[in-house]
C-alpha cells in the first residue's frame, strides 16, 4: 500500500493551528499533561488490541447512508443501497446489513442505511453535479481516523460507478493495513497521531492531503480530549475539502444508553486509580474492552449542547446541511453533522 510520505511535498496541508494555551473551554479541568496522557492511553489500547477490535468493526453504520443521502450522493448512484438490498456475493458486507453501533460501543443498530429515504421531488441544486461527477473523474475522499477502512468498503458498494481516490489517516497502522491491503491501487495511507497533533497545534501541517470532495471522521471525535481540540479537528476537516465539498462527522452519545453509561462510570473509576489520573471533565470517561485487564481508552460522551457548539465552530467556513441521530438499538447513540464548505 502506498504512503503519503513520498508525495507530501506536492500537496498543501489542511487545517488550522490550535491555541495551545486553551485546549478546552474556560472553566474546564483538562490540562495539557492530562490530555496527552489520555491520548497515550488510547493509542496504546489500539496498538495492543488492533486485531480483536478490527474483528468487531466489519459492517457499516446506518448513519453513513444518511450522510450520503444528505450530500445528494445516493440519488441515481446506488440502487442496492436505495432499495435496502444486500449485495450477495460481494467480498464486502452489504451496506444495508446491521453493523456494529460505533467504533467503541459494540451494540448493533436495528435499522439499515437510510439512502433512498429522501422525500420524492426535485433534488437540491448541488446534487446533480455531485452525482454526475462520480462517473467522470476520481472522487477524492479523506477519512481521518480511518480504522480498518470499512468506510471505503461502504462507499465502494454505495457508489458502484464512482472512481474513488481514498486518502486514509490513522495512528494505528496495523488496523489500516489489515483492512486496506486489498485496495492499494486507489488508497494512500498516512500514519499520524491525530489527537496529539491537535494538542500541540500541528494538525494544520500534519495532515498531508490534496483538496478532496468529501472528508469524514467517524468514531473518533470522542477520543479527542477538550472542546477546543475537537473544534480544531472539525476546522481542519472543513479546510481539507474543496469549496462546495462536504464534511461528515459522528459524535458518540453513549450517555443516552443507561447500560453504557453505568459501565463507563465503573470502568473509569478503575482506570483512574490504575493510571493515577485526576478528576476528568464532564462527559469524559475511560472505557474497558471485552473484560480485558489494563485495556482502556479515553471516550467523551457528547451532550446535545456540545453537538450544537461544535457545529457553530465552523459556521463561517461551512453551512450545516444536516444534523441527525442514528445507530444503536434506539437509533440515537451517534449524532451526525454534515457540512458543505462555503465558496
Write the secondary structure of the chain as one string of H (helix), E (strand) and C (coil): CEECCCCHHHCCECCCCCCCCCCCCCCCCCCHHHHHHHHHHHHHHHHHCHHHHHHCCCCCCHHHHHHHHHHCCCCCCCHHHHHCCCCCCCCCCCCCCCCCCCCCCCCCCCCCCCCCCCCCCCCCCCHHHHHHHCCCCCEEEEEECCCCCHHHHHHHHHCCCCCEEEEEEECCHHHHHHHHHHHHHHEEEEECCHHHHHHCCCHHHHCECCCEEEEEECCCHHHCCCHHHHHHHHHHHHHHEEEEEEEEEEEECHHHCHHHHHHHHHHHHHHHHHHCCCCCCCCEEEECCCCCCCCCEEEECCCHHHHHHHHHCCCCCEEEEEEEEECCCCCCCEEEEEEEECC
Lookup result for grid cell 443501497: 81
Nearest to 184 by CA among 159, 151, 235, 149: 149
- All three cell numbers of 206, joined, read 500534519
Residues sharing a CB contact under 8 Å with residue 124, sequence separation 6 or more, in sequence order: 72
pLDDT of residue 186: 86
Residues sharing a CB contact under 8 Å with residue 48, sequence separation 6 or more, in sequence order: 295
pLDDT of residue 56: 53
pLDDT of residue 238: 97
pLDDT of residue 2: 45
pTM: 0.76
Return the bridge partners of 2, or none.
188
pLDDT of residue 141: 97
- All three cell numbers of 1, joined, read 500500500
CA–CA dist 275, 286 (Å, integer): 11
- CA 226 vs CA 23, 171, 175, 308: distances in Å: 6, 19, 25, 15
Domains annotated on the chain, with CATH: 2-341 (3.40.50.150)
- CA 336 vs CA 73, 79, 102, 297: distances in Å: 17, 24, 12, 22
User: Would you give per-residue pLDDT tens digits along the chain (343 residues)?
Assistant: 444 433 333 333 344 333 333 333 334 557 999 999 999 999 898 888 755 655 555 578 999 999 999 999 864 333 333 333 222 222 222 222 223 323 333 333 333 333 333 333 333 333 334 444 555 579 999 999 998 899 999 999 999 889 999 999 999 888 788 778 666 678 999 999 999 999 999 998 899 989 999 999 999 999 999 999 999 999 999 999 999 999 999 999 999 999 999 999 999 999 999 999 998 999 999 998 877 878 899 999 999 999 999 999 999 999 999 999 999 989 999 999 999 999 9
- CA angle in degrees (0–180, nearest 5) for 240-193-296: 125
pLDDT of residue 48: 83
pLDDT of residue 249: 99
pLDDT of residue 49: 77
Amino acid at each position: 500500500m502506498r504512503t503519503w510520505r513520498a508525495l507530501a511535498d506536492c500537496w498543501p496541508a489542511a487545517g488550522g493551528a490550535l491555541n495551545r494555551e486553551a485546549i478546552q473551554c474556560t472553566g474546564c479541568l483538562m490540562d495539557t499533561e492530562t490530555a496527552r496522557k489520555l491520548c497515550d492511553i488510547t493509542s496504546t489500547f489500539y496498538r495492543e488490541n488492533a486485531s480483536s477490535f478490527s474483528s468487531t468493526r466489519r459492517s457499516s453504520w446506518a448513519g453513513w447512508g444518511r450522510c450520503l443521502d444528505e450530500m445528494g450522493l445516493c440519488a441515481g448512484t446506488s440502487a442496492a443501497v436505495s432499495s435496502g438490498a444486500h449485495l450477495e456475493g460481494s467480498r464486502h458486507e452489504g451496506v444495508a446489513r446491521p453493523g456494529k453501533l460505533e467504533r467503541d460501543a459494540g451494540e448493533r443498530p436495528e435499522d439499515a442505511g437510510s439512502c433512498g429515504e429522501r422525500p420524492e421531488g426535485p433534488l437540491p441544486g448541488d446534487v446533480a453535479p455531485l452525482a454526475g461527477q462520480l462517473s467522470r473523474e476520481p472522487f477524492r475522499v479523506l477519512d481521518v481516523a480511518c480504522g480498518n477502512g470499512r468506510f471505503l468498503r461502504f462507499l465502494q458498494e454505495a457508489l458502484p460507478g464512482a472512481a474513488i481516490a481514498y486518502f486514509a489517516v490513522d495512528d494505528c497502522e496495523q488496523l489500516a493495513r489489515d483492512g486496506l491491503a486489498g485496495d492499494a491501487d486507489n488508497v494512500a495511507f498516512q500514519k499520524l497521531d491525530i489527537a496529539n497533533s491537535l494538542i500541540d497545534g500541528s494538525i494544520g501541517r500534519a495532515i498531508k492531503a490534496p483538496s478532496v470532495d468529501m472528508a469524514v471522521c467517524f468514531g473518533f471525535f470522542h477520543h479527542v480530549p477538550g472542546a477546543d481540540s475537537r473544534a480544531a479537528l472539525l476546522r481542519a476537516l472543513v479546510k481539507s475539502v474543496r469549496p462546495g465539498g462536504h464534511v461528515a462527522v459522528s459524535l458518540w452519545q453513549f450517555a443516552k444508553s443507561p447500560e453504557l453509561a453505568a459501565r463507563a462510570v465503573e470502568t473509569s473509576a478503575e482506570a483512574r486509580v490504575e493510571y493515577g489520573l485526576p478528576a476528568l471533565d464532564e462527559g469524559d470517561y475511560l472505557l474497558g474492552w471485552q473484560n480485558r485487564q489494563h485495556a482502556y481508552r479515553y471516550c467523551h460522551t457528547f451532550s446535545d449542547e456540545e453537538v450544537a457548539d461544535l457545529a457553530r465552530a465552523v459556521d463561517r467556513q461551512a453551512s450545516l446541511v444536516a444534523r441527525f441521530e442514528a445507530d444503536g438499538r434506539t437509533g440515537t447513540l451517534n449524532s451526525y453533522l454534515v457540512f458543505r464548505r462555503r465558496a
